[in-house]
Amino acid sequence: MLRSSPAINFTQHQRTFLVLVADDDQAILDLVSQVLVNDGYRILKANDGIQCLEMYQKFHPALVLLDMQMPGMDGLTCCKRISKLSNGSVPILMMSSFSSGELIDRVFAAGAVDYLIKPFHLTVLQHRVQQFLYQIDLEQKIQQLTSDWAYQTQLYQSAQKQIKELEELHQRKDDFLNTACHELRAPLSNIRLAIQMLTYFLTEGKSSSQESGTQNLENCKTAHYLKILETESEREITLLNDLLDLQRLDGGEHPQQTNIMYLDEWLNTLTNSFKEQMQQRQQMLRLQIPPKFPPFVCDTSSLNRILTELLQNACKYTPVGETILVTARMMTGDKAGERESLVLPSLSSASFSQFLQISVTNSGVEIPVEDLPRIFEKFYRVPGSDRYQQGGTGLGLALVQKLVEHMDGSIQVSSSDQQTCFTVTLPFTPVTGCI
C-alpha cells in the first residue's frame, strides 16, 4: 500500500497540467489520482499499457505515471513507445515494487526520468510530480520568452529596414526635387527675360510710332497678356526658389550670412518697399521701435526673409482701412525666471539671456481656431481668406518657421477679436562695445 501523508501546501502553477496515471491496481490508481487532483492537476486514468498509449496519443499529457507490471502491454514497453513518440520531451515516472539494479537500469534505458518503489510515501510522489512539472513550466516560459525575443528582434529589424528604405526614398525625392527645380528654373528665367524684352519692344514701338485705334487696342491686349505671363512666371520661379530653400533647411544646408544689423534702418527700408502696395489697398502701416536700439549680430539674410514673408502675408489678408503694426523690442529672460517673464518653448539656445522679439499684427482679420494648428503647414491656406485673390506659393509661413528654427528662435501665432499676430523671438547677440 502507498503511505499517506499529512496535507502540505504546494506552490500553484500558473496553469493546470494534465497528468496521465496508468496502473492495473484500481485502488492505487484512484488514490494517486485523487492526491494529484487535490494538488490542482487534471488527471487521465488508464488500467493497462495499451489504454495508456492510446490516451497519450489522443490527449498529449504533460507527465505520465506508469506502473511497471500491467496486462496486455507492460510498463517498460509502453514507456519506450511514449518516449519515442515525444522525442523524450515528456517526463515518465515508473512505479514498481521491485528494486533490483538491473531493473532500474532498464527503466532509465526505456526513457523514464525517475523510479518510485512501492510502497512510496505520497509526499515523495507529490514532490517528484511538482518538480518535473515545474521544470516543464520553466522550459516552456523560456521558450516563449525566446520566441517573443526573436519576434521582437524580427520586428526591430523589419522596422530598421523600413526606416532605411524611407530614408532612401526621401533622399531620392530630395534629389529629384532638387534636379527638377534647377532644371525648371533655368527655362523659366529665360521665359521671364523674353517677356521683359517683348514688353520693352512693345513699349518702345508704341512711343516711336503713330498707331491706329485698332493697332493700339491690339497692343494693349498684348501688353495685358504679357503682364499675365510675367506675373505667373514670377510666381513659378518663387515657388521653385521656396522649395529649394525648404529642402536646404530640412537638410541642414542653409548657409549662414552673419552680419551686423541696425534694426531701425533695416525696418524702415524694408517696410518702405511695401508702402505703395499698402496705399493701393488703403492699408495703414505703423512701426514701433525703441529709440537707439543697439546693433546686433545675426543671420541678416534669414531675418530679412522672415519679416518680408510676414509682411507679404499681412498685406494679403488685411482688409481695406485696417492697420498693420510692426513692433520690435529686446526681452530679458533668465534661467531662474526671476526677471521679466518670457515664454520660449522652442528655443534651443538656453544660454542666451537677451532676446529680440519682432511682432507683425494686422487688424480686421481673424484666423479660425481650428486652422491655427495647421497655419505653418506646407501649401496650407485658410479657406476663403485671400480677399485680394493674390495667390501665392503656399510655402511662405512654412519657410518662415524653418528659418526661425534655423536661427535658434521660436515663432507663435495668436488670433482673436479680429486681430492676428505673428511673434518671432530670436537670441540677441549684441555687437561688442555697443551695449
CATH of the domain at 215: 1.10.287
Cell numbers for 383: 479657406
Domain presence at residue 196: yes
pLDDT at 329: 92
Kindly tell me if the per-residue pLDDT of 12 is higher than 90.
no
Average pLDDT rounded to a whole number, residues 342-348: 42
Domain presence at residue 146: no
> 71 or 256, which is more confident?
71
* Percentage of the residues of the chain whose pLDDT score is greater than 70: 81
pLDDT at 337: 36
Kindly tell me if the per-residue pLDDT of 26 is higher than 50.
yes
Domain presence at residue 214: yes
Domain presence at residue 161: no
For the chain, how many residues are written?
A: 435
pLDDT at 6: 43
Measured at the CA of 201, the angle between CA 197 and CA 207, to 5 degrees, comes to 145
Domain presence at residue 181: yes
Shared domain for 237 and 267, answered yes or no, is no
Quote the mean pLDDT of the chain.
81
Q: Full-prediction pTM beyond 0.95?
A: no
Looking at mean pLDDT, say which of 10-24, 305-319, 382-396 comes out highest.
305-319
Domain boundary among 220, 250, 280: 250
Domain presence at residue 10: no
Shared domain for 68 and 92, answered yes or no, is yes
CATH of the domain at 97: 3.40.50.2300
Contact 202, 222 (CB under 8 A): yes
Shared domain for 216 and 288, answered yes or no, is no
Q: Tally Cβ neighbours within 10 Å of residue 105.
A: 10
Kindly tell me if the per-residue pLDDT of 401 is higher than 60.
yes
Shared domain for 179 and 215, answered yes or no, is yes
pLDDT at 67: 94
- Out of 118-132, 213-227, 282-296, least confident range: 213-227
pLDDT tier for residue 108 given thresholds of 50, 70 and 90: very high
pLDDT tier for residue 214 given thresholds of 50, 70 and 90: low
Shared domain for 275 and 234, answered yes or no, is no
* 111-141: pLDDT as tens digits: 999 999 888 888 988 999 998 888 888 888 8
Shared domain for 200 and 290, answered yes or no, is no
Domain presence at residue 12: no
Shared domain for 279 and 297, answered yes or no, is yes
pLDDT at 7: 40
Number of domains in the chain: 3
CA distance 221 to 216: 9
pLDDT at 221: 73
Question: Long-range contacts of range 30-36, CB-CB < 8 Å, 24 or more positions apart?
Answer: 31/2, 31/122, 32/2, 32/65, 32/125, 35/122, 35/125, 35/126, 36/126, 36/129
Burial of residue 197, with CB atoms counted within 10 A of its CB: 0-12 exposed, 13-18 middle, 19 or more buried: exposed
CA distance 426 to 261: 13
Kindly tell me if the per-residue pLDDT of 338 is higher than 60.
no
Shared domain for 183 and 232, answered yes or no, is yes
pLDDT tier for residue 344 given thresholds of 50, 70 and 90: very low
Domain boundary among 202, 219, 250: 250
Shared domain for 279 and 419, answered yes or no, is yes
Kindly tell me if the per-residue pLDDT of 143 is higher than 60.
yes
pLDDT at 38: 92
* 52-84: pLDDT as tens digits: 999 999 999 999 999 999 988 999 999 999 999
Average pLDDT rounded to a whole number, residues 20-37: 93
Kindly tell me if the per-residue pLDDT of 313 is higher than 80.
yes
Shared domain for 226 and 359, answered yes or no, is no
Q: Tally Cβ neighbours within 10 Å of residue 276.
A: 9
Helix axes 101-109, 75-85, angle to 10 degrees: 30
Domain boundary among 250, 272, 300: 250
Domain presence at residue 127: no
Which structural domain, as residue segments, surrounds residue 202? 169-250
CATH of the domain at 332: 3.30.565.10
Shared domain for 335 and 360, answered yes or no, is yes
CA distance 268 to 293: 13
Shared domain for 367 and 269, answered yes or no, is yes
pLDDT at 384: 60
Q: Tally Cβ neighbours within 10 Å of residue 162.
A: 10
- Out of 44-48, 248-252, 306-310, least confident range: 248-252
- Out of 147-156, 221-230, 255-264, 300-309, least confident range: 221-230
> 79 or 191, which is more confident?
79
